[in-house]
Structure 1
Amino acid sequence: MGRPRTRLLDRQRIAAAALELVDEQGEFSGPQIARRLGVQTGSLYHHVDGREGIIELLRERVAGAIDPATLDLRPWDSALAAWARSYRAAFAAHPRAVPLLMTNPVRAPRVLDQYERIVALLIDAGFPLPDVMPVVIALENVVLGSALDLAAPEVMWDVADATRTPRLASALAAVGENRTDRAFELALEAFLEHARRGPVASG
């Protein structure tokens, strides 16, 4: 029997199957991926280094939707804002992957390359070195929290008795559409405004 014209298994197919499972159920396992791809479980690990290797494939696949060109913008705060919006959009497409990725160290080289660029951007802008990672982490907290919020139910506060919490009921009635987008922009601008007050306030 001749060899198949297309490979049954590669890293891209493993990542795609794992991400489908995470989107569906918030988790994955090697046997589940293997069943979805029609291969033996052991075959997966000829291509990836265990569960952590699959998680890094997921990270690369999700983060691959972030536009790296945003980091070429200037001044530095425009670059950070554009990168944050692109980052949020990428992860909002797969919100159930966020907890999985947040509990595993970042090792994927292409993802680390983006962080290298962000660190360089902040250093070049004049941020003291001890402040750089807190700024990056704080921005990620805003982005990933908002990505999770996009997957939340439309009604997060179920006010059955408005007479018990009248101000909350009124605020919920007044919020209107796009509450998650508005909340993200508010948090992002507050973050940037705080960062601008640092030693490079002039940008």
Structure 2
Amino acid sequence: MGRPRKALLDRTRIGATALQLIDEKGDFTVPEVARRLGVQTASVYHHVDGRAGVVELIRDRVVDRLDPSTLDLRPWDAALEAWARTYRAAFAAHPRAISLLMTSPVRVPRVIGQYERVAGLLVDAGFAEDAVMPVITGLDNLVLGSALDLSAPEVMWIVEDESAAPRLAAAQRATGPARADRAFDLTLAGFLAYCREVRQAGGAL
């Protein structure tokens, strides 16, 4: 038999398969990826640099949904808000990947490129250099926490005896089904308002 016309394995398939395993199980192993692709584990390692390499392929897949054109908006805070919203949507599609990606160093060039643009946006807007990373990290924490919240149950506090927590029970009923979205709007607005104050005060934290 001749060689197959289509390669059995490539980096795109490895990343997609690993992300599928995370969506299903919350984690992955390289041997599991290999089994699902019908190849030997050594074949996967031929295309990636260990588990860390697969993690970066997963990150690359997740950020496919992130729209970098939002960073072209002006003023700076409009760009940051729009980017945060598309960032949240990208990670909300794969909530089980969040803890893995948050605790792994970022190496994907196009992701680094977007963060470079965010850093430049902030510096050009007047933020001090030593304030840039706290702002970026704070935005990361806000967005990823909210993306994870979207996968949580709509009712998080089970009040079986309303007489024990009447105000909490009433507040939950009054909030309706958009709790996570309203919370994100609130925290993002507060974050951006604080950033504007920092900038107006000279850009230093």
Q: Same fold (TM over 0.5)?
A: yes
Residue of structure 2 equivalent to 1:16: 16
Q: How many residue pairs end up in the alignment?
A: 203
Whole-angstrom distance in 2 between the partners of 1:200 and 1:60? 36
Shift of 1:190: 0.4
Residue of structure 2 equivalent to 1:170: 170
**So what's the TM-score if we normalise by structure 2?**
0.96
Structure 1 position 138 matched with structure 2 position 142: no
Whole-angstrom distance in 2 between the partners of 1:33 and 1:142? 31
Which consecutive residues of structure 1, in runs of 5 or more, have no partner in the other structure? none
Whole-angstrom distance in 1 between the partners of 2:48 and 2:7? 15
- In 1, are the aligned partners of 2:126 and 2:199 still within 8 Å (CA)? yes
1:9-53: CA deviation from partner (whole Å, max 9, x where unpaired): 000000000000000111000111111111111100000000000
Residue of structure 2 equivalent to 1:73: 73
Letter in 1 for 2:33: I
* Runs of 4+ in structure 1 over 3 Å off: none
Identity %: 64
Residues 164-173 or 85-94, more deviating: 164-173
Shift of 1:177: 2.1
Task: Give the number of the structure whose residues are more often helix, by fraction.
Answer: 2
Letter in 1 for 2:103: T
* Pairs within 5 Å for 1:9-158: 9-158=9-158
**So what's the TM-score if we normalise by structure 1?**
0.97
Letter in 2 for 1:30: V
Letter in 2 for 1:167: R
Letter in 2 for 1:195: C
Residue of structure 1 equivalent to 2:159: 159
Which consecutive residues of structure 2, in runs of 5 or more, have no partner in the other structure? none
Give the superposed CA RMSD: 1.4
Shift of 1:200: 3.9
